[in-house]
Amino acid sequence: MEPLRAAASRFALARAARDGRVGGFRPKRNKGAIMAVPEKVRRRIEELRRQIDHHNYRYYVLDDPEISDEAYDALVGELRELEARYPELVTPDSPTQRVGAPPSAAFAEVRHRVPMLSLANAFTEDELRAWDRRVRGGLRGQRVEYVCELKIDGVAVNLVYEGGQLVRGATRGDGFRGEDVTANLRTVRSVPLRLRAEAPIPSFVEVRGEVYLSRQAFEAVNRERERQGLSLFANPRNAAAGSLRQLDPAVTASRPLQIFCYGVGHVEGLRLDTHWEALRWMREAGLRTHPASRLCDDLEAVLAFVEEWTHRHRELDYDTDGVVVKVNSFDQQHELGATAASPRWAIAYKFPAQQAVTRVKDIVAYVGRTGAVTPVAILEPVRVSGVTVQHATLHNEDEVRRKDVRIGDFVVVQRAGEVIPEVVRVLAERRTGAERAWQMPKVCPVCGSPIVRPPGQAVARCTGGASCPAQVLERLIHFASRDAMNIEGVGPKLLQQMLDRGLVRDPADLYRLTKDQVLTLERMADRSAQNVLDAIERSKQTTLGRLVYALGIRHVGASTAQALARQFGDIRRLMRASFEEIRDVPGVGPVVARSVRDFFDRRENRGLVERLLRAGVRPESPEAVGTGPLAGKTFVFTGTLDGIPRRQAEEMVRAAGGVVSGSVSAKTDYVVVGTDPGSKAERARKLGVRILDRRAFLDLVGRR
């Protein structure tokens, strides 16, 4: 059962072009010619769609086609022809309508009805046993069944079906809200546009799954990018994420993304009692689930599954990083509940990291965007879990000392969780005496400015700031990157050239580039230059969160940037905000607040923002708070909520559209009372405000 074979052949380009995934089939009605549709045609079209859906299901979900590719093509061809003649009969769920939406400027934010939590990890058998004991303890000795699934290393998505029709698809985002990538998910062949009528169809259902790219497809995508001089994706997961977050669905359609569905969120109009039932329902409804999933009677059966797949997972042509174990019964899941971050009823067992031995050819100091200098080991190329590794991070100076890594050493390297490779240890027994120790340089290898390491800090920094070309380049790369301004096609190589030629010095200069200037760069022809300019132009329409992230403020990652955007709603308000105001944003602490304040205290940074705005960058403020299920409801907290930090509780309220206030008044809707409450609880009682305990609060915000 190798789903890849099917996907690879059915994703042949010719077919992609034929069945509407590329090129965008948009029938146009002949002006004036209104034709009555014969009933016969109407029925034939419906019959063709039913048949094509059925064959897609056999092919993508069951991996067991019933008809030849030619016969399938003939059905699609006939449907296409009829739809061209009778465009009024084209429906959005027709199998010809996978690509249709034009490129968009940015993704809208959508809220998940049931949050998409993450999972706690286990790395050893003992940790799994301990988890099983906690589960059984929590259920006071009830019999517990588990379901084991492979943990696919891709991008989590949420598909919403209403009345059986796919109405929305979104990324996981921060777990509460993600990005609306419906147009892109519609191009994924194994995502059904409508659920199969053979299964009971709920009026509403959230389906959770992982979108991924096979290793073979990942390599093909990278080969193509290399040919075009674009930066390469580091691994299949990044390539899948990048493909899903394409602004032009036709680009997504050209990447053979696949999906495995592994759960349901909010459901209406369908009763499911166990996870195993949910998996079976999904399969019947035409949603692709992983064939290896197994229902286990006890922990011993779970351990056998883990043991089997620890060895077998490398046979698959896509990355998996572990096994997810879930309590089968939904009642039991409910009873166990969740901690603030993850459910108690599931755990992810992580496969051991893969390691390989190679030799350190050199150690170089790499200067990042904030000036941080990181020692990087340049390695003799070696394959680790299917990817060629040529360098590994050594993190910082102390780490080099601690591991005693020297130039010429043989070392063990590993890729853990498919991230940046690292040096695990040195094989000291293979030393010849010719190895050379490494020292942090005193001056920046790029700009010559002093490198300083403040006492008590692990990180050494180049003091060159905006005059260090390495920092400038890294800042530009960060600014243009996918999660920031997402300037498609403008990657490290192009930016390096622009810098070398003096075309840009900071991000705002990108918006002043002319076609003649871009044409002077290597490999640039008229069309590619125009594509670059178009991508830069498109990036002007962005979200405030992306812009804040793109500025590259130290300690401000994408989710912190989003939190700041949500709180301040406007870049100038953020620039003016006091240290205290920034610190009080949920998810932001004093270190981040200090860093943000320092950043905007510098004139050149405020100038950069002003120039970006003047150049036409239009950061859209986030969706106004107050549109979720708790829209307009005011909450006040008092006392501590066992296991949930106050900030997190406040964030849950905001994520559901509510407002948090510091004091109780007649306008307060709910007062959440934890242990050791203050006078607010008393006041709430007096005013007759509704009081919630921890459990009622979690129920209300949908976290149980």
**Strand order across the 634-638 sheet:** 659-661, 634-638, 670-673, 690-692
Closest CB to ligand IVH among residues 149, 174: 149
User: Of these, 119, 159, 253, 563, which contacts ligand IVH (CB under 6 A)?
Assistant: 119
Is residue 671 involved in binding ligand IVH (CB under 6 A)?
no
Which residues in 328-351 are b (16+ Cβ under 10 Å) and which e? Answer: bbbebbebbebeeebbbbbbbbbb
Where are the alpha helices (H) located in 551-638, listed in sequence order? 558-568, 571-576, 579-583, 590-601, 603-614
How near is the Cβ of 600 to ligand IVH at its closest, in Å?
A: 34
Closest CB to ligand IVH among residues 373, 701: 701
Closest CB to ligand IVH among residues 117, 459: 117
Closest CB to ligand IVH among residues 343, 507: 343
- Joined tokens for residue 675: 């242990």
CA 511 from chain center: how many Å?
28
Q: Which stretch binds ligand IVH (CB under 6 A): 272-280, 341-349, 400-408, 571-579?
A: 341-349
Closest CB to ligand IVH among residues 115, 619: 115
Q: How many CA atoms lie within 13 A of 614 on its CB side?
A: 10
620: number of Cβ within 10 Å: 17
Q: Confirm if 45 and 89 have CB atoms less than 8 A apart.
A: yes
Beta bridge partners of 661: 636
155: number of Cβ within 10 Å: 24
Closest CB to ligand IVH among residues 83, 153: 153
User: Of these, 118, 339, 627, 675, which contacts ligand IVH (CB under 6 A)?
Assistant: 118
Is residue 343 involved in binding ligand IVH (CB under 6 A)?
yes
User: Of these, 166, 253, 348, 426, which contacts ligand IVH (CB under 6 A)?
Assistant: 348
Closest CB to ligand IVH among residues 346, 367: 346
The alpha carbon dihedral of 447, 448, 449, 451 has a sign of positive
Q: Which stretch binds ligand IVH (CB under 6 A): 114-122, 236-244, 266-274, 611-619?
A: 114-122
What is the x/- site pattern for ligand IVH, positions 252-281, by CB under 6 A? ----------xx------------------
How near is the Cβ of 432 to ligand IVH at its closest, in Å?
A: 44
Which residues in 447-468 are b (16+ Cβ under 10 Å) and which e? Answer: bebebeeeeeeebbbbebeeeb
Q: Which stretch binds ligand IVH (CB under 6 A): 148-156, 178-186, 428-436, 665-673?
A: 148-156
Catalytic residue among 31, 40, 151, 686: 151
How near is the Cβ of 149 to ligand IVH at its closest, in Å?
A: 4
Is residue 177 involved in binding ligand IVH (CB under 6 A)?
no
What is the x/- site pattern for ligand IVH, positions 547-586, by CB under 6 A? ----------------------------------------
Closest CB to ligand IVH among residues 80, 313: 313
Q: List CB contacts of 351: < 8 A, sequence separation 6 or more.
A: 309, 310, 313, 320, 321, 322, 323
For residue 117, which of 564, 586, 702 has the smallest C-alpha distance? 702
3-state secondary structure of 406: coil
Q: Confirm if 224 and 153 have CB atoms less than 8 A apart.
A: no
How near is the Cβ of 177 to ligand IVH at its closest, in Å?
A: 14
The alpha carbon dihedral of 522, 526, 527, 533 has a sign of positive
Residue nearest to ligand IVH (CB): 156
Instruction: Considering only CA atoms, give the Rg of the chain.
Output: 27
Q: Confirm if 492 and 479 have CB atoms less than 8 A apart.
A: no
Q: Confirm if 395 and 130 have CB atoms less than 8 A apart.
A: no
Is residue 156 involved in binding ligand IVH (CB under 6 A)?
yes
Of the chain, the end-to-end C-alpha distance in Å amounts to 37
DSSP labels for 463-481? TTGGG-HHHHHHHHHHHHS
Q: Which of residues 311-330 bind ligand IVH (CB under 6 A)?
A: 324
Report how many residues bind ligand IVH under the rule CB under 6 A: 15
Q: Which of residues 201-230 bind ligand IVH (CB under 6 A)?
A: 210
Q: Which stretch binds ligand IVH (CB under 6 A): 116-124, 279-287, 652-660, 695-703?
A: 116-124
Closest CB to ligand IVH among residues 210, 488: 210
Closest CB to ligand IVH among residues 336, 376: 336
How near is the Cβ of 557 to ligand IVH at its closest, in Å?
A: 17
Is residue 151 involved in binding ligand IVH (CB under 6 A)?
yes
Q: List CB contacts of 667: < 8 A, sequence separation 6 or more.
A: 634
The alpha carbon dihedral of 268, 273, 279, 281 has a sign of negative
Is residue 152 involved in binding ligand IVH (CB under 6 A)?
yes
3-state secondary structure of 364: strand
How near is the Cβ of 319 to ligand IVH at its closest, in Å?
A: 10
How near is the Cβ of 109 to ligand IVH at its closest, in Å?
A: 18
Is residue 172 involved in binding ligand IVH (CB under 6 A)?
yes
Helices and strands, counts by H and E, the chain: 27, 24
Closest CB to ligand IVH among residues 346, 653: 346
How near is the Cβ of 322 to ligand IVH at its closest, in Å?
A: 8
Report the distance separating Cα 52 and Cα 189, nearest Å.
12
Is residue 131 involved in binding ligand IVH (CB under 6 A)?
no
Q: Which stretch binds ligand IVH (CB under 6 A): 39-47, 68-76, 146-154, 547-555?
A: 146-154
Is residue 251 involved in binding ligand IVH (CB under 6 A)?
no
Report the distance separating Cα 703 and Cα 379, nearest Å.
46
Q: List CB contacts of 624: < 8 A, sequence separation 6 or more.
A: 569
Burial of residue 72 (number of CB atoms within 10 Å: 0-12, 13-18, 19+): buried
Q: Which stretch binds ligand IVH (CB under 6 A): 44-52, 145-153, 228-236, 485-493?
A: 145-153
How near is the Cβ of 153 to ligand IVH at its closest, in Å?
A: 7
Q: Which stretch binds ligand IVH (CB under 6 A): 77-85, 112-120, 123-131, 353-361?
A: 112-120
Is residue 346 involved in binding ligand IVH (CB under 6 A)?
yes
Is 361 a catalytic site residue? no
Report the distance separating Cα 489 and Cα 546, nearest Å.
18
How near is the Cβ of 162 to ligand IVH at its closest, in Å?
A: 23
Q: Which stretch binds ligand IVH (CB under 6 A): 2-10, 147-155, 306-314, 487-495?
A: 147-155
- Joined tokens for residue 593: 């607040």
Closest CB to ligand IVH among residues 152, 253: 152
Is residue 494 involved in binding ligand IVH (CB under 6 A)?
no
Q: Which stretch binds ligand IVH (CB under 6 A): 66-74, 127-135, 149-157, 274-282?
A: 149-157
Q: Confirm if 38 and 44 have CB atoms less than 8 A apart.
A: no
Give me the residue label for tokens 């029709």. 165
Report the distance separating Cα 138 and Cα 27, nearest Å.
58
Q: Which residues are at the interface with ligand IVH (CB under 6 A)? A: 117-119, 149, 151-152, 156, 172, 210, 262-263, 324, 343, 346, 348
Active site residues: 151
